[in-house]
Amino acid sequence: MSEESIITENGQINVEDQVIFQYVSEEVLKYEGVSRLVGGITESFAKNIFGRDTDVQGIKVSRDGNNITIDIHLIAYYGVNIPQMAFDIQNSVKEVVESYTGLSVEAINVGIEGIDKRK
């Protein structure tokens, strides 16, 4: 797991990637149009070949100092306005991550990997 220090006048603050994953996951799954998060090919490959397992399927965080880029891969429900939902997810995830971690979110990329029917 990666972490970056935020230097303040009182010392430093370290925010682990796992913290970011949890905030992003909770925020994305609040949306009624989201069926579930899904891992990408790289994640599946790492899990199968190297035995690496993760609770944060479908979320990738890349860091450049205190700036982060978040990639989200999800399955949407049929009938959802995908562009609007993705835009709303980008805005709410950015707000939550920045306000709760103090990190600057440079970009949030939302990939719709498929569609599920509602049960």
Q: Which domains does the chain have, with CATH numbers?
A: 17-41+54-116 (3.30.70.1350)
Terminal CA-CA length for the chain: 36
For 45-90, the pLDDT digits (tens) are: 455 544 544 446 899 999 887 789 999 999 999 999 999 999 999 9
Rounded distance, CA 34 to CA 39, Å? 14
Identify how many contiguous H helices and E strands the chain contains and give both numbers: 3, 6
What's the whole-model pTM score? 0.80
Nearest Cα neighbor of 29 from 97, 106, 93 is: 93
Stretch (H or E) spanning 85: helix 82-101
6: nearest Cα among 96, 101, 100 = 101
